[in-house]
Structure 1
Protein backbone atom coordinates (compact mmCIF):
# COMPACT_ATOMS: atom_id res chain seq x y z
CA UNK A 1 0.00 0.00 0.00
CA UNK A 2 1.33 3.43 -0.87
CA UNK A 3 0.18 5.23 2.28
CA UNK A 4 -0.42 4.63 5.96
CA UNK A 5 -3.46 6.91 5.88
CA UNK A 6 -6.66 5.15 6.89
CA UNK A 7 -8.75 4.71 3.73
CA UNK A 8 -12.34 5.92 3.98
CA UNK A 9 -13.69 3.49 1.39
CA UNK A 10 -12.80 0.19 -0.22
CA UNK A 11 -12.27 2.09 -3.48
CA UNK A 12 -9.64 4.26 -1.77
CA UNK A 13 -8.01 1.21 -0.20
CA UNK A 14 -7.71 -0.61 -3.54
CA UNK A 15 -6.51 2.53 -5.36
CA UNK A 16 -3.47 2.71 -3.07
CA UNK A 17 -2.02 -0.48 -4.61
CA UNK A 18 -0.18 -1.05 -7.90
CA UNK A 19 -2.38 -1.96 -10.87
CA UNK A 20 -1.87 -5.77 -10.82
CA UNK A 21 -2.75 -5.91 -7.12
CA UNK A 22 -5.74 -3.60 -7.67
CA UNK A 23 -7.13 -6.05 -10.21
CA UNK A 24 -6.90 -8.96 -7.78
CA UNK A 25 -8.37 -6.99 -4.88
CA UNK A 26 -11.25 -5.75 -7.02
CA UNK A 27 -12.01 -9.27 -8.25
CA UNK A 28 -11.97 -10.57 -4.66
CA UNK A 29 -14.31 -7.73 -3.70
CA UNK A 30 -16.73 -8.66 -6.49
CA UNK A 31 -16.47 -12.36 -5.63
CA UNK A 32 -17.39 -11.66 -2.01
CA UNK A 33 -20.23 -9.30 -2.94
CA UNK A 34 -21.74 -11.88 -5.30
CA UNK A 35 -21.42 -14.69 -2.74
CA UNK A 36 -22.93 -12.58 0.04
CA UNK A 37 -25.97 -10.77 -1.35
CA UNK A 38 -27.16 -8.18 1.11
CA UNK A 39 -23.75 -7.75 2.72
CA UNK A 40 -22.52 -4.19 3.09
CA UNK A 41 -19.02 -2.87 2.57
CA UNK A 42 -17.00 -1.09 5.23
CA UNK A 43 -13.46 -0.40 6.31
CA UNK A 44 -12.52 -1.96 9.64
CA UNK A 45 -9.01 -2.32 11.05
CA UNK A 46 -7.97 -0.25 8.00
CA UNK A 47 -8.90 -3.05 5.59
CA UNK A 48 -11.92 -3.89 3.42
CA UNK A 49 -14.70 -5.63 5.30
CA UNK A 50 -18.08 -7.07 4.45
CA UNK A 51 -20.81 -7.04 7.09
CA UNK A 52 -24.02 -9.03 7.11
CA UNK A 53 -26.92 -8.12 9.38
CA UNK A 54 -24.65 -5.67 11.19
CA UNK A 55 -21.97 -8.28 12.00
CA UNK A 56 -18.55 -8.71 10.43
CA UNK A 57 -18.55 -11.48 7.84
CA UNK A 58 -15.20 -11.39 6.04
CA UNK A 59 -12.16 -9.15 5.63
CA UNK A 60 -9.55 -9.02 2.89
CA UNK A 61 -6.25 -7.19 2.58
CA UNK A 62 -3.36 -6.70 0.21
CA UNK A 63 0.27 -7.13 1.18
CA UNK A 64 3.57 -7.08 -0.69
CA UNK A 65 3.73 -10.87 -1.18
CA UNK A 66 0.12 -12.01 -0.83
CA UNK A 67 -3.55 -11.19 -0.39
CA UNK A 68 -5.20 -12.31 2.83
CA UNK A 69 -8.83 -13.28 3.45
CA UNK A 70 -10.11 -13.76 7.01
CA UNK A 71 -11.47 -15.09 9.21
CA UNK A 72 -11.95 -18.65 8.01
CA UNK A 73 -13.30 -20.84 10.80
CA UNK A 74 -15.12 -24.11 11.32
CA UNK A 75 -18.09 -22.84 9.29
CA UNK A 76 -16.00 -23.63 6.19
CA UNK A 77 -15.36 -27.23 7.20
CA UNK A 78 -16.98 -28.53 3.99
CA UNK A 79 -14.14 -27.04 1.97
CA UNK A 80 -11.34 -27.57 4.51
CA UNK A 81 -9.32 -29.86 2.18
CA UNK A 82 -9.44 -27.24 -0.57
CA UNK A 83 -8.28 -24.56 1.88
CA UNK A 84 -5.22 -26.44 3.14
CA UNK A 85 -2.72 -25.06 0.60
CA UNK A 86 -3.74 -21.49 1.49
CA UNK A 87 -4.22 -21.71 5.27
CA UNK A 88 -1.92 -19.65 7.41
CA UNK A 89 -2.63 -20.10 11.07
CA UNK A 90 -6.10 -21.12 12.15
CA UNK A 91 -8.20 -18.55 10.36
CA UNK A 92 -6.27 -16.85 7.55
CA UNK A 93 -6.12 -17.63 3.86
CA UNK A 94 -3.04 -16.34 2.05
CA UNK A 95 -2.97 -16.14 -1.73
CA UNK A 96 0.58 -15.52 -3.02
CA UNK A 97 0.98 -12.77 -5.62
CA UNK A 98 2.90 -15.09 -7.92
CA UNK A 99 0.07 -17.64 -8.23
CA UNK A 100 -3.51 -17.48 -9.53
CA UNK A 101 -6.15 -16.56 -6.95
CA UNK A 102 -8.78 -19.32 -6.56
CA UNK A 103 -11.81 -17.02 -6.76
CA UNK A 104 -14.33 -19.92 -6.80
CA UNK A 105 -12.83 -21.14 -3.51
CA UNK A 106 -13.23 -17.67 -1.99
CA UNK A 107 -16.88 -17.74 -3.10
CA UNK A 108 -17.38 -21.13 -1.41
CA UNK A 109 -15.87 -19.85 1.83
CA UNK A 110 -18.03 -16.72 1.81
CA UNK A 111 -21.20 -18.71 1.04
CA UNK A 112 -20.40 -21.04 3.95
CA UNK A 113 -19.92 -18.04 6.23
CA UNK A 114 -23.21 -16.52 5.04
CA UNK A 115 -24.99 -19.81 5.70
CA UNK A 116 -23.48 -20.05 9.18
CA UNK A 117 -24.33 -16.42 9.94
CA UNK A 118 -27.92 -16.66 8.75
CA UNK A 119 -28.67 -20.03 10.31
CA UNK A 120 -27.21 -19.24 13.73
CA UNK A 121 -29.90 -19.06 16.41
CA UNK A 122 -30.58 -15.59 17.74
CA UNK A 123 -29.11 -14.92 21.15
CA UNK A 124 -31.72 -14.59 23.85
CA UNK A 125 -31.52 -11.52 25.97
CA UNK A 126 -31.35 -12.18 29.65
CA UNK A 127 -33.73 -10.13 31.68
CA UNK A 128 -32.95 -9.22 35.23
CA UNK A 129 -35.98 -9.76 37.36
Structure 2
Protein backbone atom coordinates (compact mmCIF):
# COMPACT_ATOMS: atom_id res chain seq x y z
CA UNK A 1 0.00 0.00 0.00
CA UNK A 2 1.21 3.49 -0.81
CA UNK A 3 0.30 6.04 1.84
CA UNK A 4 -1.32 9.30 0.77
CA UNK A 5 -0.90 11.12 4.11
CA UNK A 6 1.56 11.10 6.97
CA UNK A 7 -0.96 9.53 9.36
CA UNK A 8 -1.75 6.84 6.79
CA UNK A 9 2.00 6.18 6.49
CA UNK A 10 2.39 5.90 10.29
CA UNK A 11 -0.66 3.64 10.55
CA UNK A 12 1.15 1.04 8.43
CA UNK A 13 3.34 0.32 11.48
CA UNK A 14 2.50 -1.37 14.77
CA UNK A 15 3.48 -1.06 18.40
CA UNK A 16 6.60 0.80 19.44
CA UNK A 17 7.67 1.73 15.90
CA UNK A 18 4.28 3.34 15.29
CA UNK A 19 4.49 5.22 18.60
CA UNK A 20 8.01 6.45 17.81
CA UNK A 21 6.91 7.62 14.36
CA UNK A 22 3.99 9.46 15.96
CA UNK A 23 6.40 11.12 18.39
CA UNK A 24 8.65 12.30 15.55
CA UNK A 25 5.61 13.53 13.64
CA UNK A 26 4.34 15.50 16.65
CA UNK A 27 7.78 17.01 17.37
CA UNK A 28 7.96 18.34 13.83
CA UNK A 29 4.30 19.28 13.44
CA UNK A 30 4.22 21.38 16.60
CA UNK A 31 7.41 23.25 15.63
CA UNK A 32 6.79 24.12 11.98
CA UNK A 33 4.77 27.18 10.95
CA UNK A 34 1.04 26.68 10.46
CA UNK A 35 1.38 27.14 6.71
CA UNK A 36 3.82 24.21 6.40
CA UNK A 37 2.39 21.46 4.22
CA UNK A 38 2.35 17.78 5.09
CA UNK A 39 2.73 15.28 2.28
CA UNK A 40 4.35 12.08 1.15
CA UNK A 41 7.39 12.69 -1.08
CA UNK A 42 9.78 9.99 -2.22
CA UNK A 43 7.50 7.62 -0.23
CA UNK A 44 8.45 9.46 3.00
CA UNK A 45 6.45 11.70 5.33
CA UNK A 46 7.45 15.23 4.40
CA UNK A 47 7.00 18.75 5.71
CA UNK A 48 7.45 21.61 3.22
CA UNK A 49 7.09 25.35 3.33
CA UNK A 50 6.10 26.37 -0.19
CA UNK A 51 8.63 24.56 -2.35
CA UNK A 52 11.22 24.37 0.46
CA UNK A 53 11.53 20.86 1.96
CA UNK A 54 11.89 21.15 5.72
CA UNK A 55 11.98 17.60 7.07
CA UNK A 56 11.47 14.02 5.95
CA UNK A 57 11.26 10.91 8.15
CA UNK A 58 10.84 7.18 7.61
CA UNK A 59 10.27 4.00 9.53
CA UNK A 60 12.56 1.01 9.08
CA UNK A 61 13.04 -2.29 10.84
CA UNK A 62 15.90 -1.04 13.05
CA UNK A 63 15.55 2.74 13.19
CA UNK A 64 13.62 5.85 12.26
CA UNK A 65 15.32 7.86 9.56
CA UNK A 66 15.18 11.60 10.26
CA UNK A 67 16.20 13.88 7.38
CA UNK A 68 16.65 17.49 8.54
CA UNK A 69 18.97 18.55 5.61
CA UNK A 70 22.73 18.11 5.25
CA UNK A 71 23.44 21.55 6.76
CA UNK A 72 21.64 20.61 9.98
CA UNK A 73 23.50 17.32 10.23
CA UNK A 74 26.83 19.09 9.71
CA UNK A 75 25.95 21.79 12.26
CA UNK A 76 25.07 19.21 14.93
CA UNK A 77 27.83 16.72 14.05
CA UNK A 78 29.32 16.74 17.57
CA UNK A 79 25.93 16.07 19.19
CA UNK A 80 25.23 13.34 16.62
CA UNK A 81 28.53 11.48 17.14
CA UNK A 82 26.75 8.54 18.82
CA UNK A 83 24.16 8.22 16.04
CA UNK A 84 24.43 6.63 12.65
CA UNK A 85 24.42 9.47 10.15
CA UNK A 86 24.96 10.10 6.47
CA UNK A 87 25.04 13.42 4.67
CA UNK A 88 21.22 13.44 4.67
CA UNK A 89 20.12 11.05 7.43
CA UNK A 90 20.14 10.62 11.20
CA UNK A 91 19.34 7.08 12.34
CA UNK A 92 17.24 7.00 15.50
CA UNK A 93 17.67 3.38 16.58
CA UNK A 94 14.67 1.60 18.04
CA UNK A 95 16.77 0.15 20.87
CA UNK A 96 17.53 3.64 22.26
CA UNK A 97 15.26 6.42 23.53
CA UNK A 98 14.29 9.09 21.03
CA UNK A 99 16.57 12.12 21.55
CA UNK A 100 13.61 14.51 21.72
CA UNK A 101 15.54 17.50 23.10
CA UNK A 102 18.23 17.18 20.43
CA UNK A 103 15.55 16.79 17.78
CA UNK A 104 13.82 19.97 19.02
CA UNK A 105 17.15 21.81 18.76
CA UNK A 106 17.78 20.50 15.24
CA UNK A 107 14.25 21.40 14.14
CA UNK A 108 14.52 24.92 15.60
CA UNK A 109 17.94 25.46 14.02
CA UNK A 110 16.69 24.27 10.63
CA UNK A 111 13.71 26.62 10.76
CA UNK A 112 16.01 29.53 11.66
CA UNK A 113 18.00 28.87 8.49
CA UNK A 114 15.05 29.57 6.22
CA UNK A 115 15.24 32.77 4.19
CA UNK A 116 13.71 35.71 5.98
CA UNK A 117 9.96 35.88 5.49
CA UNK A 118 9.50 32.12 5.09
CA UNK A 119 8.75 31.52 8.77
Larger Rg: 1
Deviations 1:65-107 (A, max 9, x none): 0000014322455533112222422221001111101011111
Is residue 2:26 matched to residue 1:30? yes
Would the alpha carbon gap of residues 42 and 78 (structure 1) be closer, same or farther in structure 2, given more than 3 Å must change?
Answer: same
**Displacement of 1:57:** 0.7
- 5 Å-filtered alignment, 1:18-57, equals 18-38=14-34, 39-57=36-54
The CA distance in 2 between the partners of 1:92 and 1:76, in whole Å, is 8
Equivalence for 1:108: 105
* Contact 2:68 2:106 survives alignment (8 Å): no
Aligned residue-pair number: 117
Shift of 1:50: 0.5
Structure 1 residue 16 displacement after superposition:
0.5
Greater mean deviation of Cα atoms: 29-38 or 95-104? 29-38
Can you give the 5+ residue segments of structure 1 that lack an aligned partner in the other structure?
121-129
88 and 75 in structure 1: CA distance in 2 versus 1, 3 angstrom threshold? closer
